[in-house]
Chain A
Amino acid sequence: MDSYFINKPNFDRLVKSLSKTYKIFAPVKVDNNRFYKKVGEDGLEKSVIGEIRAVEPIKSFYFPARAKIAEYFSSKEDSDAKEKPVAIIGAKSCDLVSFKVMDYVYSQEPFRDPLYVLKREEGLIISSDCTSYGETCFCVAIGIMPYPLEGFDINLSELEGGYVAEMGSGKGEKIVRDYFKLFQSAEPYIEKRNANRKKLKEDLLEHVKKSKIPPKDSIQKAFKTKFDSTLWEEVSKTCVECGACNYVCPACHCFILMDQKKVDGFERLRMWDSCLLMSFARVAGGANPRKLLAHRMRNRFDKKFNFFQDTIGRFGCTGCGRCTEACPGKIDIREVLSKLEK
């Protein structure tokens, strides 16, 4: 895809202009973490375009933690005001890869999720290369690069004074075309961008080496051999069933439906659910295929490294390390993966 260079003041101008069409979110640093904040009047002043992924997964914008997905038996038409579509700036490679899972679940025929599909169609994604890595990051160990290769409208590679902006979709191309005077040739910058990418990839490969994660192509097989192992009891010993790993995971897509009364008629909410909770697979009458926490723990890895590998040819894990960071029981996904081959 074509790339151009855009300097920081010009990128600020572009974002201000896009804010007429989009509600724009970009990561802002608080202590040592990054959180998506709405970009307001002061533009990108406080935003962090490079560095590493935000604390919250990008799914929050497309598949919110709690969303009204239907109103029924009411006499009035849905009166919710139409909101501006969302533009995300600074999403990372591990976030974009999660769309492979999310799109498969929510956009496939014959039953497409109207809310998700709408947000995906309307939304704009201006992603960016990681310029550092977090302690729990391990994307490269499972074949994902710390810089986006696809799934963005525009991707930014941060350099001194500006960004190399690569277009990844028709929507991205149109933006560059519409604001062409803000861009200049990327040619003098490509070499530096490539060198940055190479350096970060090598550093990260070195970082993940000590985790001893099995090679990507043998993880699924290793998981199958450990199906009946005591590993799962061992791993779940410190699990407190809080569901944090599910909620921060960019590829966890499970939800629960909840109905409630409103003034006129009823509404149906779709809320994130957690497969580690006791009631997840239980049916009326009490039968439960996964009564034991160890089985629910195994099920989480089964879904990520076995089910999705068979179903869509890739893991339901992007190596973002959020689950490890969020776990109050200090369960480290890298350690679990390393134990699959022991």
Chain B
Amino acid sequence: MINNPYLPIKTEVLDVIEESPTIKTFRLKPEAPLHFKAGQFIEMSIPGKGEAPFTPSSSPYEKNKLEITIMKAGRITAMIHNLKKGDTVGLRGPYGKEYPLFEYEGKEILLVGGGVGLAPLRALFLALAHDIEKYKSVLFCCGSRTPSDIIYKDCVLDKWQCLDKKKVKFRITVDRKDDSWKGNVGLVTTTLDKLDINLKNSVSIVCGPPIMMKFATFKLLEVGYKPEQIYLSMEKNMSCGIGKCGHCRLGNFYACKDGPVFRYDKISHIHEIWD
């Protein structure tokens, strides 16, 4: 009998971390190991209710456990937000194409994330940090609506800042500040001005809401990146996850099996990519 690709693995919720008023991170332990690579996604289900696609946000090197960061945005995510420690969910995957880390070796890497789009970039960042000697440098540009919308605060504002200050740098910005905020104010695209990067030897990786991806990509092109140096994580309606149900078609690709990570030059001709 063929393996049933629609069958979820029973998974325990180990912990729920509140990241922002609308975003939570779920620490999960599947009954059977589920090894993903940074950028790949999984389908997470509420038993008997349905499932939705998410890209894990924890380190791919962490075995047996994983974290998924989820914004409350629809029917399934609202139910996921009601989960508590000890609850049972379903997971299947991983699916799709990961970030091609070997293409990033020896390069100056620019990560551009907005809002909950930081989730896949966190997994990618942790994978890069794991083998930091392979890469020339990492600049992580994060944008959030307000200071309270910043996710992974303990990491981006604290822990990661102390990694290797010469090699790993951060630019954090918020669209609107509050009284507590002493940092940059402005859209994430403003952090892409005055880059201290040798563009010829650089790659940029963008993830965020569609509108942010669009303007960040255009900004990167404007500052001198070539389309083949830009990697995007496309969010489409990846329902089956395995290239069959038809929902996530993007031109001649399916986001679920040919993506979700795409090099921009491969998809720039396709209508509808930013919608």
Q: Which residues of A contact B (CB under 8 A)?
A: 69-70, 72-73, 105-106, 111-114, 117-118, 227, 253-261, 266, 268, 270, 273, 275, 280-285, 287-291, 295, 299, 303, 306-307, 310-311
Q: Give the residues in chain B near A105, CB-CB below 8 Å.
A: 243-244
Contact of B50 among A257, A270, A282, A283 (CB under 8 A): A257
The dominant DSSP class at the B interface is loop
Given A117-B2, A259-B47, A280-B237, A254:B73 Cβ within 8 A: no
Contact between B236 and A289 (Cβ–Cβ < 8 Å)? yes
Q: Give the residues in chain B near A69, CB-CB below 8 Å.
A: 4, 6
Contact between B237 and A310 (Cβ–Cβ < 8 Å)? no
B227-251 residues at the A interface, CB under 8 angstroms: 235-237, 239-240, 242-249, 251
- Flag B244-269 by CB within 8 Å of A: 1 or 0 each: 11111101100000000000000000
Q: Give the residues in chain A near B177, CB-CB below 8 Å.
A: none
Complex alpha-carbon distance, A253 and B247, angstroms: 11
Contact between A275 and B246 (Cβ–Cβ < 8 Å)? yes
Contacts beyond the supplied A255-B244, A281-B237, A289-B236: 12 A-B pairs with Cβ under 8 Å: A111-B243, A112-B2, A113-B244, A114-B2, A254-B245, A255-B240, A255-B246, A256-B239, A257-B240, A281-B247, A285-B71, A287-B210
Given A280-B237, A280-B247, A283-B237, A70:B252 Cβ within 8 A: no
B17-40 residues at the A interface, CB under 8 angstroms: none
Given A256-B239, A307-B252, A266:B247 Cβ within 8 A: no
Complex alpha-carbon distance, A261 and B243, angstroms: 26
Contact between B245 and A266 (Cβ–Cβ < 8 Å)? no
- Flag B58-89 by CB within 8 Å of A: 1 or 0 each: 00000000000001011111000000000010
Given A72-B7, A283-B236, A289-B275, A266:B2 Cβ within 8 A: no
Contact between A70 and B6 (Cβ–Cβ < 8 Å)? yes
Q: How far is the CB of A267 from chain B (nearest CB, A)?
A: 8
Q: Give the residues in chain A near B183, CB-CB below 8 Å.
A: none
Contact between B48 and A260 (Cβ–Cβ < 8 Å)? yes
Q: Which residue of B lies closest to A105 (CB)?
A: B244
Q: Return the 3 tightest CB-CB contacts between A and B, nearest first.
A: A284-B74, A254-B246, A111-B242
Q: Which residue of B lies closest to A279 (CB)?
A: B237
Contact between A268 and B88 (Cβ–Cβ < 8 Å)? no
Contact between A284 and B76 (Cβ–Cβ < 8 Å)? yes
Contact between B246 and A114 (Cβ–Cβ < 8 Å)? no
Q: Give the residues in chain B near A112, CB-CB below 8 Å.
A: 2, 5
Q: Give the residues in chain A near B145, CB-CB below 8 Å.
A: none
Q: Give the residues in chain B near A113, CB-CB below 8 Å.
A: 5, 244
Q: Give the residues in chain A near B77, CB-CB below 8 Å.
A: 284
Contact between A273 and B245 (Cβ–Cβ < 8 Å)? yes
Given A72-B7, A112-B2, A114-B1, A254:B247 Cβ within 8 A: yes
Contact between A73 and B88 (Cβ–Cβ < 8 Å)? yes
Contact of B47 among A72, A275, A282 (CB under 8 A): A72
B186 contacts the other chain (CB 8 A): no
Contact of B245 among A257, A291, A295, A306 (CB under 8 A): A257
Q: Which residue of B lies closest to A112 (CB)?
A: B2
Q: Give the residues in chain B near A268, CB-CB below 8 Å.
A: 6-7
Contact between A281 and B236 (Cβ–Cβ < 8 Å)? yes
Q: Which residue of B lies closest to A307 (CB)?
A: B252
B136 contacts the other chain (CB 8 A): no
Contact between A227 and B48 (Cβ–Cβ < 8 Å)? no
Complex alpha-carbon distance, A113 and B271, angstroms: 30
Given A254-B246, A255-B246, A257-B6, A73:B47 Cβ within 8 A: yes
Q: Give the residues in chain A near B90, CB-CB below 8 Å.
A: 72-73
Contact between A270 and B6 (Cβ–Cβ < 8 Å)? yes
Complex alpha-carbon distance, A303 and B5, angstroms: 24
B49 contacts the other chain (CB 8 A): yes
